[in-house]
């Protein structure tokens, strides 16, 4: 294989994409609203990638992603990632994210502290927002302070962290809806 390849595959949440090189998985693209939009996102970020039959390493990743989105707890440890374009700090963040157990979450601040960079919560947030390895590196388990779970990386498509955490059985997901935020401060209704 020369250059990068990609393929589109079915999952329980829609048609995902995966991009790879001879070194390993380059990126995972969660589904957009329409498959054509998923393909456009892949082409926008990886214009050199060509649709091909996935090699074994990528097939392992696809099987794990499909299983995870069906509620299983796959092991991605045998999946090689192409981290050629990833900074050393981001790699450390991704390695740490991979240690977060299914159904649990951590905040940006907790990860920064664990990495010995307690003032680097913003840098952790930036790394998570750039995670190209959706689901293989479970960035959806990393939340903002206050455990808000709505932001996801550009590879996230239309899927929210909240939905991915619910698929993993994370209960309760700490994010609050606008209704839940406003209800406690709403004035009481007069009795009639």
> Catalytic residues, which ones?
139
Q: Give the other-Cβ count within 10 Å of 89's Cβ.
A: 15
Are 115 and 123 within 8 A, CB to CB?
no
Nearest Cα neighbor of 139 from 126, 147, 148, 129 is 129
3-state SS, the chain, equals: CCCCEEEEEEECCEEEEEEECCCCEEEEECCCCCHHHHHHHHHHHCCCCEECCCCHHHHHHHHHHHHHCCCCCCCCCCCCECCCCCCHHHHHHHHHHCCCCCCCCEEHHHHHHHCCCCCCHHHHHHHHHCCCEECCECHHHEECCCCCCCCCCHHHCCCCHHHHHHHCCCCCCCCCCHHHHHHHHCCCCCCC
């Amino acid at each position: 294989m020369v250059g990068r390849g990609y393929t589109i595959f079915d999952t329980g949440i829609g048609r995902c994409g995966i991009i790879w090189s001879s070194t390993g998985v380059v990126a995972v693209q969660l589904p957009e609203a329409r498959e054509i939009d998923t393909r456009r996102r892949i082409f926008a970020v990886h214009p050199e990638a060509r649709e091909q039959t996935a090699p074994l390493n990528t097939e392992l990743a696809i099987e794990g992603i499909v299983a995870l989105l069906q509620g299983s707890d796959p092991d991605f440890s045998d999946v090689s990632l192409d981290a050629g374009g990833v900074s050393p700090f981001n790699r450390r963040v991704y390695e740490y994210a991979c240690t977060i157990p299914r159904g649990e979450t951590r905040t940006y601040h907790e990860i920064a502290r664990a990495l010995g960079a307690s003032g680097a919560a913003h840098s952790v947030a930036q790394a998570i927002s750039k995670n190209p390895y959706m689901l293989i590196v479970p960035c959806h388990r990393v939340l903002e302070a206050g455990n808000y779970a709505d932001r996801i990386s550009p590879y996230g498509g239309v899927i929210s962290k909240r939905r991915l955490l619910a698929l993993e059985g994370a209960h309760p997901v700490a994010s609050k809806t606008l209704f839940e935020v406003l209800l406690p401060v709403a004035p009481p209704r007069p009795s009639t």
